[in-house]
Amino acid sequence: MRNDGRIGESQLSELRNMRVLLEEARVLARNLAYHRRARLEDLVGQALEEVDRQIEELRGPQRIERDGPV
């Protein structure tokens, strides 16, 4: 495996771990007062969307390498 492949896998693993932590934060936020909860859930949702985008971005080049050019 090439070095940048290992780096990509490491980044992907870190993003997946971050996603799990953000999901846990979302669950914990449900115990907050409504106005604080709504704001925090919005921020966590935005962070989750960004993490998902980065995961897909990292997977994109690997899909091309594995499956061949589109």
Number of domains observed in the structure of the chain: 1
- Domain membership of residue 33 (yes or no) is yes
- At 62, list the tokens: 């690997």
In a domain? residue 14: yes
SS3 59: helix
User: How far is Cα 5 from Cα 1, in angstroms, rounded to an integer?
Assistant: 6
Residue 19 inside a domain? The answer is yes
Q: Contact, 54 vs 15, CB < 8 A?
A: yes
Q: What domain range is 55 assigned to?
A: 3-61
- In this prediction the pTM is 0.61
Q: Does the residue 67 lie in any domain?
A: no
pLDDT tens digits for the chain (70 residues)?
456 667 778 899 999 999 999 999 888 888 888 778 888 889 989 999 999 999 999 888 665 555 555 4
